[in-house]
A and B are shown apart, each in its own frame.
Chain A
Amino acid sequence: MVSKEAAKLVAVSVMLACTVVAQSKKEYRFAVGPRAGVSVMNPYGSISVKPSPNNTVIVDAVLHSDKVEVDNNQNGNRVDIQSHLLSGADPESGRVDYEILVPADASVTLHSSIGSMRAEKLHGDVNLEGPGSEVSLRDISDAHVHVKTMNGTVTLYNVQNGHVEVDSLSGEVTLKSVNGSLVQVVSTSGKINYIGDFGNSGEYRLTSHSGDIEATIPEWTSADVSARSVRGEVHDDIPLQPKTHTSFPLDKGRAFAGTVGRVAVSSTVVLRTFSGKIHLRKRSDKQ
């Protein structure tokens, strides 16, 4: 019995050792100037980007097998990183997980087919694209933020003074404390959640085909809101000063339009869906 257990232990140890041997870690460093450009293309695996303390781009890559290589190139103030799949690579063996430090003012472009993409504490432009990727951005300011996904979930938290465009086919999109001159989300069937105050004077357009749209706003919000579901329902928990003129019919239960808060400093908010539900609700103290 003891020898059987021992044999199992040895087998497991060998398997673990093989896994460790198959993985390899590589580090690359690049000196860059202000407002550098950093691009990462990684078919399989995660990418995490955080700010570095100086003008250096540091790339830590964990390669899960020898069927993938990391190509790196610096051209002036631009750094390109690409996972290069070799013959026979699949999502498991072709996986590379990146942890990258960039100057906070760098412009970052990330592509991944499968794997999470995260970026935080940056104030350069952020462009993320991944069909099946989970996207998470937080603490971004004064930046253009563009996100494209197919079915990955998208979460943006604390994006200030941004120009935000999110396109998603079926992934759920959540924006919390996101404001700026333009905040636009377009989705086919994914749900869109907005939690925040719609800023001061921006344009907010949340559009879906069949996905529900829920906007939760605090009491002090100032916004000019219009909402319509062509075939679905709308619900409004907040008293609005109704508009007298709209470009669409204000059918009860299908559309509403009006102003909340102070008109002079209000943002423009357009919530539009074809067959989903729209719900404008007041934020409770707990949220």
Chain B
Amino acid sequence: MNCVELKQSLAEVEDLSGAEQRAHLKACPACSALVQELNQIVAAASELRAADEPSPRVWNSIEIALRREGLIRPQTAQRVPVASFSARWGRARWLVPAAAMLLLVVGVYQRQESSSTRSSQPTAVVAPVVNPSGLNDEDFIQEVAENTPALRIQYEENLRRVNDSIRDAQSALDESPNDEDARRSLMDAYQQKSMLFQMAMDRSLE
């Protein structure tokens, strides 16, 4: 099993029980580090169950851990036309915003669940703590421009649309905090943005 196959197998055998997976992870520090970070993200997600809102420490700890492991790297001035293997894994830094949005969706869902069990209390307004503009949209577009320049305009246009949809849904929810459809629209909008980042990340890892 090589690194690409391991990445693909993660979706199928999540608990890493496969013999080939284990053998590859023993031999490959880069994949081992990636799996470790994914486990940390899963662990961070479980913390959300106990809290109404994710702590900023969750985001910070994810980012710090990814930087420590070298999965997030400073932008280099020069880039080779075709990325080297290590640079490809470096682009896994797109896991940060993608994971952040997935965690956000989990957080919104958990709040929805908890608010529905407290019917006697006024329903809280779901206010995502992450500003869409704080998810490094510009870096995202820059990365897309370098990896898939032919799709840059489409990515920009779709990022704008999905950010608009987040703002629309948030505005509606602010006006009508008990509106379940507005709440679902907000969740859907974040999931769509997460999908956009995910697609760009998949492409950069090819």
A interface residue numbers (CB < 8 A to B): 39, 41, 43-44, 75, 80, 82, 85-91, 111, 113-114, 129, 131-132, 148, 150-151, 167, 169-170, 186, 188-189, 207, 209-210, 228, 230-231, 247-248, 272, 274-275
Q: Of the candidates A90, A111, A132, A275, which one forms a contact with B154 in the assembled complex, judged by CB atoms under 8 Å apart?
A: A132
Contacts of A114 in B (CB 8 A): 150-151
A209 touches B155 (CB 8 A): no
Q: Of the candidates A39, A91, A170, A209, which one forms a contact with B168 in the assembled complex, judged by CB atoms under 8 Å apart?
A: A209
Q: Which positions 164-199 of chain B face chain A at CB distance < 8 Å? A: 165, 168-169, 172, 179-182, 184-185, 188-189, 191-192, 195-196, 199
Binding site of A, secondary structure by majority: helix, strand, loop or mixed? loop
B interface residue numbers (CB < 8 A to A): 5, 8, 80-82, 148, 150-151, 154-155, 157-158, 161-162, 165, 168-169, 172, 179-182, 184-185, 188-189, 191-192, 195-196, 199-200, 202-203, 206
B188 touches A209 (CB 8 A): yes
Some 17 contacts from A to B, beta carbons below 8 A apart, are A43-B203, A80-B5, A87-B80, A111-B206, A131-B155, A131-B199, A148-B199, A150-B155, A151-B154, A169-B195, A188-B162, A209-B165, A209-B168, A210-B161, A210-B168, A248-B181, A274-B185
Q: How far is the CA of A109 from the CA of B162 in the complex (A)?
A: 26
Contacts of B185 in A (CB 8 A): 209, 230, 272, 274
Given known A-B contacts A131-B154, A148-B195, A167-B192, A113 and B148 have beta carbons under 8 A apart: yes
Contacts of A272 in B (CB 8 A): 181, 184-185
Contacts of A230 in B (CB 8 A): 172, 179, 181-182, 185
Q: Of the candidates B150, B168, B192, B196, which one forms a contact with A275 in the assembled complex, judged by CB atoms under 8 Å apart?
A: B168
Point out which of B5, B179, B188 has the most chain A C-beta atoms below 10 A from its C-beta: B188
A228 → B minimal CB distance (Å): 6
Contacts of A89 in B (CB 8 A): 82
Binding site of B, secondary structure by majority: helix, strand, loop or mixed? helix
A167 touches B169 (CB 8 A): no
Contacts of A131 in B (CB 8 A): 148, 151, 154-155, 199-200, 203
Q: Of the candidates A43, A189, A231, which one forms a contact with B172 in the assembled complex, judged by CB atoms under 8 Å apart?
A: A231
B81 touches A87 (CB 8 A): yes
B189 touches A41 (CB 8 A): no
A87 touches B169 (CB 8 A): no
A150 touches B199 (CB 8 A): yes
Give the 10 A-B residue pairs with the shortest CB-CB distance, closest first.
A209-B165, A274-B185, A169-B158, A91-B150, A87-B82, A87-B81, A188-B192, A131-B199, A189-B161, A151-B154
Q: How far is the CA of A131 from the CA of B159 in the complex (A)?
A: 12
Q: How far is the CA of A231 from the CA of B185 in the complex (A)?
A: 11
Residue of B nearest to A207 (CB): B188
Residue of B nearest to A39 (CB): B8
A147 → B minimal CB distance (Å): 12
A169 touches B180 (CB 8 A): no
Contacts of A167 in B (CB 8 A): 192, 195
B188 touches A186 (CB 8 A): yes
Q: How far is the CA of A159 from the CA of B203 in the complex (A)?
A: 28
Residue of A nearest to B185 (CB): A274
Contacts of B155 in A (CB 8 A): 131, 150
Residue of A nearest to B186 (CB): A274
